[in-house]
């Protein structure tokens, strides 16, 4: 490359063929393989007017220079010339390139390159046009396809929205709710139709069965009711975006259960009531030791009502079915089966009572006999298996009786009447074995043999179960109630009433506790100190053990009546006996009839009972007193007139147990108890006594009717 003269303007005529090469097809100036925009040290000024190239002529400002087909040589610095392709114009002219013109590699320019904006289209014959011009055929087809797709989408959307607004205006085709046809109706019409059709069965009882047992549930008691609004809505009476619901407006066949308004608590209560009549508690195996002999209780599977399934079945049947429901149940298997019980019998129970257990207290050894611990021993299910268990409370008494040589027994505090006043008798500590410790220590030794069948224990101070402080806290300070009854001479009365009085005398009823005559006195047997006497059984007199004890019960009942005790249970005699206060008397029969009253106060109640025995010439007296702290100023009794009189009949009895009796009329009577506090009536209570008529009883056979 040669130097240029910087101050001499460059003219097209100055260019040489050796300096510039013009591509005849593209009209670009080429030098070697690349165009360069960088001039030599001194740039050559270039006319500002554009130079026409190739087919489209462009006038220059001063003198246009046509570009020949052959390349026009430039001076040493190549000047790029751009051209504008024109379809049918004169030959393009060249212009001198400026310093800032873009240099484009020659090999990057294709033969048909065009700097105009390109529009890609497909020709009618399938060819692609990369140059100028617009492919109107292919473009139109593409646009029409888009328009068609948009139109389809718009139609689908419009149909979908229309379907949404149609849902909820009428019920779907072929639709029933609880068997009631509501097809095509408006939601309001469907609700009215449904309520009218189901009204006759809304209160129909739901029957359930289990085996031979039957149960009936009232819907109102079980908290069941129709929810018409939700039933219609869920059957298609509400607006929905789900296409299936839209289609269902015109085609389909759908059955719907009614939707219910359910009080779950009420339904659960109704099912629980049914369960009480069906449930069978599982029986776990157990071994007890009556008379120191192991006795096994076999396991038995239990049965429970499946409450959730039963509730579901009741819901499903309501309004749609009148068929009885079979109560669903489930078996409950015992934790340990019969094989496990048999193994426990040979491995635990039999070794446990095989002999005494040696107690070692210091240098002293005492043999604890089987009869001492057997009553407190059971083999029962614990933690999934049968294990021996000793009840410390049951062990306490026998343990003391069987270890006389070890320590002394503790004495409970008590309250007794001395000199007409209640006195607290202090309790006393003892020295002996602790039942809780012994119960724990004995268990491992029960299955051992030889020297291993022994327990090392320590004698400790034993506190009384009822201490002096306990007795003083009861505040038993004065007499609050008493009563006395008289009885005719009979030795069995003297014996039985005295024994009954002895067993209840000194009993303390703590605040809130309930006293039971049968629990305190026990069964009336010879071993318990009672003899045979006259009792009322089946409405007639009979000779049985314990006759006359009702005198003790009646006297105690009245003492409690006037002492303000709460009446829990009492039973008047079957017929009225005139030596007792009318309407205020009571009888007992062990195992069925009891006298029970509750101490409703904050103070302890001491029962004092004694008998002044009868003699052939004098009546006996039964006395009962209650001592405590007074709550009421006084308690009074009143009686209504007798009413509903009943006449007796006549009976013949030819058995050896017959006791002749005179007839007694029956009647009803009300007894009113009035409580006074601060000089005013605080409250009243009314109780009614119903007396049967007592037939005349003639001992012997009934006479044969005489012929006329």
pLDDT > 80? residue 535? no
pLDDT > 90? residue 56? no
pLDDT > 70? residue 50? no
353-388: pLDDT as tens digits: 999 999 888 788 888 889 889 999 999 999 999 999
Q: Which residues of 581-616 are buried (b: 16+ CB within 10 A; e: fewer)?
A: bbbbbbbbbbeebbbbbbbebebbbbbbbebebbee
- Locate 76 and state its tokens: 């040493």
Determine the Cα–Cα distance for residues 242 and 252; give it in Å rounded to an integer.
15
242-282: pLDDT as tens digits: 666 556 555 556 788 899 999 999 999 999 999 988 999 99
Task: Say how far residue 524 (Cα) sits from the centre of its chain.
Answer: 47
Q: Among the ranges 19-33, 190-204, 466-480, 567-581, which has the highest mean pLDDT value?
A: 466-480
418-443: pLDDT as tens digits: 989 999 999 998 877 778 888 899 99
Q: Which residues contact 71 (CB under 8 A, 6 or more apart)?
A: 17, 20, 21, 22, 24, 29
Give the 3-state secondary structure of 185-225: CCHHHHHHHHHHHHHHHCCCCEEEEECCEEEEECCCCCCEE
Confidence tier at 108 by pLDDT (50, 70, 90): very low
10 Å CB burial of residue 162 (0-12, 13-18, 19+) is exposed
Task: Look at 141 and 640; give whichever has higher pLDDT.
Answer: 640
SS3 at position 483: strand
Determine the Cα–Cα distance for residues 32 and 165; give it in Å rounded to an integer.
77
Determine the Cα–Cα distance for residues 221 and 205; give it in Å rounded to an integer.
10
Asked if 626 and 565 count as a contact pair (C-beta separation under 8 A), the reply is yes
pLDDT > 80? residue 524? yes
Q: How many helices (H) and strands (E) does the chain have?
A: 15, 40
10 Å CB burial of residue 647 (0-12, 13-18, 19+) is exposed
The Cβ-side half-sphere exposure at 41, using a 13 Å CA radius, reads: 7
pLDDT > 70? residue 615? yes
pLDDT > 60? residue 15? no
Q: Between the CA of residue 545 and those of 487, 499, 557, what are the distances in Å?
A: 18, 12, 21
Confidence tier at 652 by pLDDT (50, 70, 90): confident
Determine the Cα–Cα distance for residues 486 and 505; give it in Å rounded to an integer.
18
134-182: pLDDT as tens digits: 445 556 677 787 777 777 777 777 655 665 645 556 788 778 888 888 8
Confidence tier at 343 by pLDDT (50, 70, 90): very high
303-337: pLDDT as tens digits: 999 999 999 999 999 998 999 999 999 999 999 99
Asked if 664 and 576 count as a contact pair (C-beta separation under 8 A), the reply is yes
pLDDT > 90? residue 708? no
pLDDT > 90? residue 564? yes
Predicted confidence at residue 430, as pLDDT, reads: 80
Task: Look at 7 and 534; give whichever has higher pLDDT.
Answer: 534
Query: How many other C-beta atoms are found inside a 10 Å radius of the C-beta of residue 524?
Result: 25
Asked if 381 and 348 count as a contact pair (C-beta separation under 8 A), the reply is no
The pLDDT of 280-290, averaged and rounded, is 94
Rg (CA), the chain: 58
Predicted confidence at residue 145, as pLDDT, reads: 79
- Mark residue 90 as left, alpha or beta (left: phi above 0; alpha: psi -120 to 50; beta: remaining): beta
Predicted confidence at residue 647, as pLDDT, reads: 86
Predicted confidence at residue 707, as pLDDT, reads: 66
Predicted confidence at residue 391, as pLDDT, reads: 93
pLDDT > 80? residue 572? yes
Asked if 359 and 329 count as a contact pair (C-beta separation under 8 A), the reply is no
Determine the Cα–Cα distance for residues 513 and 605; give it in Å rounded to an integer.
10
Confidence tier at 283 by pLDDT (50, 70, 90): very high
Predicted confidence at residue 90, as pLDDT, reads: 46
696-705: pLDDT as tens digits: 888 888 887 7
Task: Look at 538 and 132; give whichever has higher pLDDT.
Answer: 538
Predicted confidence at residue 548, as pLDDT, reads: 83
Confidence tier at 663 by pLDDT (50, 70, 90): confident
The pLDDT of 187-205, averaged and rounded, is 89
- Locate 227 and state its tokens: 């929810």
């Amino acid at each position: 490359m040669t130097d240029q003269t910087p101050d001499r303007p460059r003219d097209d005529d100055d260019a040489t063929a050796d300096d510039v090469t013009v591509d005849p097809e593209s009209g670009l100036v080429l030098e070697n393989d690349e165009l360069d925009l960088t001039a030599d040290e001194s740039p050559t000024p270039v006319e500002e007017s554009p130079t026409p190239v190739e087919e489209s002529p462009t006038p220059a400002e001063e003198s246009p220079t046509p570009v020949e087909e052959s390349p026009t040589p430039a001076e040493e610095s190549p000047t790029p010339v751009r051209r504008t392709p024109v379809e049918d114009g004169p030959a393009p002219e060249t212009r001198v390139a400026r310093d800032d013109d873009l240099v484009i590699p020659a090999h990057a320019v294709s033969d048909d390159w065009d700097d105009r904006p390109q529009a890609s289209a497909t020709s009618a014959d399938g060819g692609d046009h990369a140059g100028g011009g617009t492919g109107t055929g292919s473009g139109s087809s593409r646009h029409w396809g888009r328009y068609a797709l948009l139109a389809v989408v718009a139609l689908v959307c419009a149909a979908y929205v229309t379907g949404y607004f149609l849902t909820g205006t009428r019920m779907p085709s072929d639709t029933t709710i609880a068997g009631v046809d509501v097809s095509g109706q408006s939601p309001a019409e469907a609700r009215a139709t449904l309520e009218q059709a189901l009204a006759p069965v809304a209160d129909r009882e739901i029957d359930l069965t289990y085996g031979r047992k039957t149960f009936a549930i009232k819907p109102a008691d079980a908290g069941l009711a129709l929810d018409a609004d939700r039933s219609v809505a869920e059957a298609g009476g509400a607006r929905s975006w789900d296409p299936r619901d839209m289609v269902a407006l015109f085609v389909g066949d759908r059955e719907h259960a009614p939707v219910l308004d359910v009080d779950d608590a009420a339904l659960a209560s109704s099912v629980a009531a049914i369960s009480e009549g069906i449930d069978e508690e599982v029986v776990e195996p157990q071994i007890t030791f009556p008379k120191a002999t192991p006795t096994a209780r076999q396991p038995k599977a239990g049965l429970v009502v499946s409450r959730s399934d039963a509730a579901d079945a009741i819901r499903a049947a309501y309004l749609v079915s009148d068929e009885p429901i079979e109560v669903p149940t489930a078996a409950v298997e015992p934790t340990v089966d019969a094989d496990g019980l048999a193994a426990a019998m040979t491995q635990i129970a039999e070794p446990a009572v095989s002999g005494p257990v040696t107690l070692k207290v210091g240098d002293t050894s005492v043999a604890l006999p089987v009869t001492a611990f057997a009553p407190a021993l059971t083999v029962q299910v614990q933690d999934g298996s049968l294990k021996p268990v000793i009840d410390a409370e049951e062990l306490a008494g026998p343990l003391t009786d069987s270890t006389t040589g070890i320590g002394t027994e503790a004495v409970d505090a008590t309250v007794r009447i001395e000199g007409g006043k209640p006195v607290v008798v202090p309790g006393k500590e003892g020295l002996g074995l602790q039942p809780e410790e012994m119960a724990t220590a004995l268990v491992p030794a029960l299955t051992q043999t030889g020297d291993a069948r022994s327990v090392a224990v320590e004698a400790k101070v034993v506190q009384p179960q009822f201490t002096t402080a306990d007795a003083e806290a009861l505040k038993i300070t004065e007499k609050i109630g008493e009563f006395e009854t008289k009885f005719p001479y009979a030795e069995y009365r003297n014996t039985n009433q005295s024994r009954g009085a002895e067993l209840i005398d000194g009993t303390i009823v703590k605040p809130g506790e309930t006293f039971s005559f049968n629990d305190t006195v026990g069964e009336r047997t010879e071993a318990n100190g009672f003899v045979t006497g006259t009792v009322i059984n089946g409405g007639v007199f009979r000779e049985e053990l314990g006759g006359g004890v009702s005198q003790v019960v009646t006297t105690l009942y009245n003492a409690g009546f006037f002492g303000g005790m709460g009446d829990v249970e009492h039973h008047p005699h079957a017929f009225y006996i005139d030596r007792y206060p009318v309407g205020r008397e009571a009888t007992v029969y062990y195992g069925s009839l009891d006298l029970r009253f509750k101490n409703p106060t904050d103070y302890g109640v001491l029962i004092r009972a004694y008998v002044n025995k009868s003699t052939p010439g004098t009546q006996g007296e039964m006395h009962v007193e209650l001592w405590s702290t007074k709550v009421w100023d006084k308690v009074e009794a009143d009686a209504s007139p007798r009413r509903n009189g009943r006449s007796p009949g006549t009976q013949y009895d030819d058995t050896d147990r017959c006791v002749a009796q005179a007839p007694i009329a029956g009647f009803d009577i009300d007894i009113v108890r009035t409580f006074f506090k601060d000089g005013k009536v605080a409250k009243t209570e009314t109780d009614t006594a119903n007396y049967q008529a007592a037939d005349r009883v003639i001992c012997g056979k009934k006479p044969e009717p005489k012929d006329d």
